[in-house]
Amino acid sequence: MAQTEDHETIWKDFKGAVNMTASALEKFLETDESQSVGQKKDGGEATGHKKGRRIVEILHKKKADLDDDDYAHMKKVVGYVHRHLKQGGPEDRSKTKDSPWRLSLMNWGHDPLKD
């Protein structure tokens, strides 16, 4: 029972943190902007970009079909989004749209301009 309650909390937090639809995130992940940001190991795919593809998979699933690995990933996403939002982005708000801060958040399914 406790796990179900924890899953419910994670679900709600995830839905609050991820404000992009699966289709919007998929489309964004295909852009050069998406692939231009984030930490890349050995010149490969950035961590956030890879996580974004996993988020799309989760968004396409029915809630009843989510497993423990999905919930663990959802919890990581919530933590990342909250930490990154606290950084606050560019001081000059007119530069937010194309900032690495925003693009990185979008790889994780959150567009701060939608808030």
pLDDT digits (tens, 9 = 90+) for 78-99: 999 999 999 988 888 888 898 9
Q: What percent of the chain has pLDDT over 90?
A: 70
Facing residues of 40 across strands? 46
Q: Are 1 and 92 in contact (CB under 8 A)?
A: no
The answer on pLDDT for 43 being more than 90 is no
Q: What is the pTM of this model?
A: 0.89
